[in-house]
Structure 1
Amino acid sequence: MQKTLFDKIWDAHHVADTAAGACLIAIDRVFLHERTGAAALGRMAKMGRDVLDPARVFAVMDHIVDTRPGRGDGTLMKGGEGFITETRAAAKAAGITLFDVNDRDQGIVHVISPELGVVLPGLTLVAPDSHTCTQGAFGALAWGIGSSEAEHAMATGTLRLEKPKTMRVTYGGALASGVTPKDMVLHLIARHGAGGGAGHAVEFAGEAVRALDMEGRMTLCNMATEFGAMSGFVAPDAKTFEYLAGRRFAPDAFDDSYWGSLRSEEGAKFDSEIAIDAAHIAPMVSWGTSPEEAIPVTGEVPHGTDKVHDYIGLDAGQTLAGTPVDVAFIGSCTNSRISDLRRAAAILRGRRVAPSIKVAMVVPGSMAVKRQAEEEGLDRIFTEAGFEWRMSGCSLCFYAGGEGFPEGSRTISSTNRNFEGRQGPGIRTHIASPETVAASAIAGAIADPRDYVRELEAA
């Protein structure tokens, strides 16, 4: 029987079946962050359990650290320093690799893991963070877990897991000018619902997916969790291997025979199939409090629940474009890589954010991205346009009681979630691509980026 890519990885990691009908799966990599890492390592130490293979476990300070220049262990989050210092001590005691607050390789976990070659094709990788599925872009099976599961994975090298169903989402054709991977995944979620992928491992395939660079594929896979999927992934190819070559934790020589086999075979059966014509996708912007509540930027707000309309402050039938915004944010594990910053900066070059914008901010996804952007002069383009240029971290995407925006602000954001309060108390978040954020910052209101993109293409 022809196998899917998922089946190949699953079968290669299947250790045993449990009496309850679940499976025991071998885990190749575990990545921790300071919000839960110290707790997991501390409980293991208290029970006298060692990390089975410290070389396969990594930790980073990314969720609670401030993004302000000159930051240290102290944070605006009350008690945040304790998370940092305890994680540092626990990581040292366990002998695992730590990317500390001001380490040159520090960054958002799902950005630095690919940058450093921690994730590789065919591996299983877990982290106590739902957006771990980002790393499936490399043909890996990567998913988010809980803190207690992280303990089990570190102590035994395995996890108990019920085998998910398989789904293939095929994007045929080509994207129109000004349309991005962020729009691809928002289109999918808006069309099929935030639970459309529930219980499934989702393979993204098709001509439009193969045309994406690795950073675009990461954006696509990042929001598989917003689709309800256990994970999302893309079959590795020459682009994957080229990206990984020379990375710090990548092998010196690639296993071409194995990595080259990591694809779904012709005729392999999936439990579910979705086909999307990429040419019909427009720049998308969320209008409500779930990623499934998203429409083309030029569309009209549909009818939702009274609660959603009251929170977001938009009425059914209102045109989304032209809605004033207070904050423009570019960052998060979804859209903070160098290609994201380049595209946004291209739109902002020689322009200024609207006077009505209270806060405009860029948070690079890693210190490596920050350095590269500065070498290319992107930081100057952003600051001259009126954006703040920050350090790497999650705190402005994931509000933990520290850094934030003015309460009640309407934010156009390149992040992944528009839940109530996701970016702070009363913050009303519209998720969109970096290009849409840049265009909206200039306009002072939600704006279509395609005019700016076409102007750049014509220049």
Structure 2
Amino acid sequence: MSSTLFDKVWDAHVVRKIEDGPDVFLIDRHFIHEVTSPVAFVGLESRGLGVMFPERTFATADHNTPTINQHLPVKDPLSANQLNALEKNSAKYGISHWGLGNPKNGIVHVVGPENGITLPGMTIVCGDSHTSTHGAFGCIAFGIGTSEVEMVLSSQCIMQPKPKKMRITINGSLGKGVLPKDVPLYILSQISASGATGYFIEFAGEVFEKMSMEGRMTVCNLSIEMGARGGMIAPDETTFNYLKGKDLAPKGEAWDKALAYWKTLKTDADATFDYELTYNAADIEPQITYGTNPGLGTGISKHIPMAADVQDGAASYKKSLEYMGFHEDESILGKKIDYVFLGSCTNGRIEDFRAFASIVKGRKKADNITAWLVPGSHVVESQIKEEGILDILNEAGFELRQPGCSACLAMNDDKVPAGKYAVSTSNRNFEGRQGPNSRTLLASPYVAAAAAVTGVVTDPRELLEEA
């Protein structure tokens, strides 16, 4: 019987099927951080339970860590308590822990792949919605709640109903100035932030086949913003080349055996999906959001749509524009920006910093811009320095911060002030996401860099032409 990639991975991990209920589902890798794990460990202790397979769980501090002076004690008492709890719980149960100061520390969805913890065909969960990032490797990866974190710690299983299957195919070649981030933002603008609810997405076609692993991670990261349970891309030579030699990837004969299995992880030619969508790469230009969910976005050269032309209800749409201080049929180009954020599990990898630097090289940061450039890990931070990117950034008037989630969700001191506008390479633009009453425009590293040197929303293709 023909199967999709999703079916092959899902069915291989079902421990038990419950009639008219969810599947009992085995988890290969479990990532934890300081925010959603402490209560789960309290639950374990209250029931007298331990961690069944501590070697399958990996802990890193990222969400509310400071991005400057990480060598000093954390000032915020809640953050300090959470970080301390993660360290203590990890030590108690024998879980690998990469805390502040550890050279492997960084954002959970950055350090997993770069260390070879994330491998094709795996099931991966974390108490974080953007766990979908790992689907770029042909994994079934999704976020879970605190009670489910406790369930996985104690049993290495979770109970899940099997989602429906969607395939989104994009063929052709992306145009100048269009980065991987623009692809899911474009899809979101077409289907809305709820268009994939109830589905698990497979991204297919020439656009994704040509993408680097870092680009694929960006795409799968944003699948959750489409309402999907997660997204995945079939592993191929790009995947295998990325993983070979990673610290925790298989070696020698184990690599050969794993590779033989990984090459079977693709959708059979005659397999069917519950829903299919197809787009043309030529229709995608640099994107930017203008509203208060990731589906409210458009091509950067276009005007903000009229209420009648968007899938959100007219009342909520107009409320969204009112919050943002925008109007229907208004151009976004030229809008004054106050903050630029480069980073997060969406765009905090080395390729994102290379793209940003390619725009700012030979230019200067605009005087009205406060820029937070935050690498996703210490490995990325080291690459930035080794490749000379830090020199380019410093010469342009930018400073590099230390790894962490930073202004993506503003759980630390990196908060955009009320009423201020931020072009952000992160994943969510909800009201107050980057600080109370802050206003977020999601975009690619190119668009963020263009705003950083001009002070306004600027089409990056204009600056790429000048370079």
What TM-score do the two structures reach when normalised by structure 2?
Answer: 0.95
Instruction: Output the CA distance in 2 between the equivalents of 1:453 and 1:137.
Output: 28
SS at structure 1 position matched to 2:408: coil
Name the amino acid aligned to 1:327. Answer: Y
Shift of residue 348, structure 1, vs aligned partner: 0.5
Name the amino acid aligned to 1:36. Answer: T
Instruction: Output the CA distance in 2 between the equivalents of 1:158 and 1:356.
Output: 50
Equivalent position of 2:190 in the other structure: 191
Equivalent position of 2:428 in the other structure: 417
1:349 pairs, out of 361, 371, 380, with: 361
1:324 pairs, out of 336, 342, 367, with: 336
Shift of residue 326, structure 1, vs aligned partner: 0.5
Post-superposition Cα deviations, 1:161-206, rounded to whole Å, max 9, x if no partner, equal 0000000000111101110111100010110111111111100010
Out of 267-276 and 32-41, give the one that drifted further.
32-41
Equivalent position of 2:181 in the other structure: 182
SS at structure 1 position matched to 2:428: coil
Name the amino acid aligned to 1:105. Answer: K
Equivalent position of 2:7 in the other structure: 7
SS at structure 2 position matched to 1:218: helix
1:260 pairs, out of 247, 260, 263, with: 263
1:42 aligned onto 2:42: yes
Shift of residue 328, structure 1, vs aligned partner: 1.1
1:293 aligned onto 2:296: yes
Instruction: Output the CA distance in 1 between the equivalents of 2:43 and 2:186.
Output: 42
Instruction: Output the CA distance in 1 between the equivalents of 2:48 and 2:108.
Output: 27
Shift of residue 39, structure 1, vs aligned partner: 2.0
Whether the 8 Å contact between 1:72 and 1:101 is mirrored in structure 2 is no
SS at structure 2 position matched to 1:250: coil
Whether the 8 Å contact between 1:360 and 1:386 is mirrored in structure 2 is no
Shift of residue 392, structure 1, vs aligned partner: 0.6
Whether the 8 Å contact between 1:178 and 1:454 is mirrored in structure 2 is no
1:247 aligned onto 2:258: no
Equivalent position of 1:439 in the other structure: 450
Out of 322-331 and 10-19, give the one that drifted further.
10-19
Instruction: Output the CA distance in 1 between the equivalents of 2:269 and 2:399.
Output: 49
Name the amino acid aligned to 1:68. Answer: I
Instruction: Output the CA distance in 2 between the equivalents of 1:73 and 1:203.
Output: 43
Equivalent position of 2:21 in the other structure: 21
Whether the 8 Å contact between 1:180 and 1:283 is mirrored in structure 2 is yes
Instruction: Output the CA distance in 2 between the equivalents of 1:121 and 1:333.
Output: 19
1:333 aligned onto 2:332: no
Shift of residue 81, structure 1, vs aligned partner: 0.5
Instruction: Output the CA distance in 1 between the equivalents of 2:47 and 2:466.
Output: 62
Equivalent position of 2:74 in the other structure: 74
Name the amino acid aligned to 2:404. Answer: G
Name the amino acid aligned to 1:353. Answer: K
Whether the 8 Å contact between 1:73 and 1:101 is mirrored in structure 2 is no
Equivalent position of 2:215 in the other structure: 216
Name the amino acid aligned to 1:386. Answer: G
Structure 1, unmatched stretches of 5+, are: none
What TM-score do the two structures reach when normalised by structure 1?
Answer: 0.97
Equivalent position of 1:100 in the other structure: 99
Number of residue equivalences: 454
- 1:139-158 correspondence to structure 2 within 5 Å: 139-158=138-157
Shift of residue 266, structure 1, vs aligned partner: 0.3
1:453 pairs, out of 445, 461, 464, with: 464
Instruction: Give the alignment's Cα RMSD to 1 decimal.
Output: 1.2
SS at structure 2 position matched to 1:223: helix
Whether the 8 Å contact between 2:119 and 2:249 is mirrored in structure 1 is yes
Name the amino acid aligned to 2:125. Answer: V
Out of 19-28 and 193-202, give the one that drifted further.
19-28
Shift of residue 46, structure 1, vs aligned partner: 2.8
Equivalent position of 1:274 in the other structure: 277
Instruction: Output the CA distance in 2 between the equivalents of 1:401 and 1:174.
Output: 39
Whether the 8 Å contact between 2:31 and 2:125 is mirrored in structure 1 is yes
Equivalent position of 1:120 in the other structure: 119
Whether the 8 Å contact between 1:177 and 1:454 is mirrored in structure 2 is no
Name the amino acid aligned to 2:302. Answer: G
SS at structure 1 position matched to 2:25: strand
SS at structure 2 position matched to 1:269: coil
Instruction: Output the CA distance in 1 between the equivalents of 2:404 and 2:165.
Output: 33
Whether the 8 Å contact between 2:290 and 2:321 is mirrored in structure 1 is no
SS at structure 1 position matched to 2:406: coil
Name the amino acid aligned to 2:364. Answer: R
